A and B are shown apart, each in its own frame.
Chain A
Amino acid sequence: MAERSVTLEERLAALAATMEYPATPAAELRARVTAAIRVAPPRAPIPPVARARWRSWRVRLAAALAVLLAVTGLVTPVRTAVAGFLGLRGVVIEQPRTVPTPTPRPPTATPSPAGLGAGLSLGEPTSLPAARAQLAFTPLVPGALPAPDGVFVRRPPTGGALSLAYRAGPGRPPAIGDSGVAILITEFRGDLAPEFFGKFVGSDATIEPVQVDGDPGYWIAGTPHSVGYHEQNGDVQIDDLRLATNTLIWQHGNLLLRIEGTQTREQALAIAHSMH
């Protein structure tokens, strides 16, 4: 009989290829898990060193990241490689084989009167003095850079997020893509929105723990990576358009700050150091 030549293993493989599973209730899982996690934050280990707060912040951020990535299903292939660690115990960051890609936005027909950075989903254009009144924190501005060329406030997150956009110019990196923006600084209350920020890091990117004047942070270099925001309903929103370039993120008090666009870690650290 011809069938005899087909091994059991081959028949199992053929069956596996045609298996139908019940649909994964991904949305329900995401909502239920997110709700449960909000109620019970992760138990971070307390390291026996003076930098306990630093580390526990790292653990919290990384835990939020890892679970966010695991639950959301935004990381497409099953064979997701988990390659990079943030260099500390208990900390993991995902390097999915496929980084979630932003949805392309329709090009704006006319240059926006709002100016630089408009179209980057940064929120409402405003001025620094006006922004101060809208934010639940006192914004920091970099002394190392002149006045920003664009100022935006966005909600969510709770407390608002401030973005400062800078054009290309002497001593600054070239503009990224056709955005006209060379450097982008974003700040928000990390304590009010602990899961607001997520980062999906491509396999070519590197992640390095750094300190900014004693504050904990990460330097993420290389592409691609994209940025996800945790919306209030538990969904993760991939930023429509993000610079997806070298990024320094760090925590200062209850603020989470991010500098995107610098070519080197030292440039980013110099700007970060000048924030006041």
Chain B
Amino acid sequence: MYSDLAFRTAFLVCGSAADAEDAAQEAFISAHAALGRFRPGAPFRPWLLRIVGNAARNRRRAATRRHGLALQFAASLRTGDAAPSPEAEVEAAEERTALLRAISALREEERVVVVLRHLMGLDVSETAAVAGCAEGTVKSRLSRALAHLRQRLESDCG
């Protein structure tokens, strides 16, 4: 639903649930006011995402204290029929923790595109809409971010 989409997107940009709620609220109100400028034939989702992205970035800039990314993940990955062994579960959790730590250590502009693209599952154009930059910029930031993540994970392992 759109409220989930807006709230989670704002959360990934702002890094705080309270700011995300304010940003999502502001975005819906802006969207309502701007509906007259919505071009028929244009897809609604990227249009809304652009407004959410603007609101969330403004909110993040205004925040006096910057939040780290308070991301969490489920303790165990339930995969249907075959329950993973406790060892495998622990290993998988450790792997996700390491990855999450590596993501949190990225520069903000790289982190935002990675989490939007790979954790929220937005496509490149939607990610660009939220981040407020060109698609080419998203692609180059993504490839830099993935390279940094690989480096960091390597050095963790080594």
Contact = CB atoms under 8 A, between A and B. Distances in A.
Would you list the 4 A-B pairs with minimal beta carbon distance, nearest first?
A82-B44, A73-B1, A22-B17, A12-B118
Interface stretch (B26-34, B58-66, B131-139): B26-34
B31 A70 contact: yes
B contact face: mostly helix, strand, loop, or mixed: helix
6 contacts: A12-B118, A24-B3, A29-B7, A33-B28, A74-B1, A90-B35
A115 interface: no
A74 B4 CA distance: 11
A15 B17 contact: no
B95 interface: yes
Given A14-B92, A62-B35, A19 B28 contact: no
B36 A42 contact: yes
B56 interface: no
Contacts of A26: 1, 3-4, 7
A67 B32 CA distance: 6
B90 interface: no
Interface string B42-80: 011100100000000000000000000011111011000
Nearest to A94: B44
A33 B25 contact: yes
B153 interface: yes
A146 to B, nearest CB: 42
Nearest to A91: B40
A143 B59 CA distance: 58
Interface in A17-50: 17-22, 24-26, 28-30, 32-33, 36-37, 40, 42-45
Given A25-B7, A42-B33, A78-B1, A18 B96 contact: yes
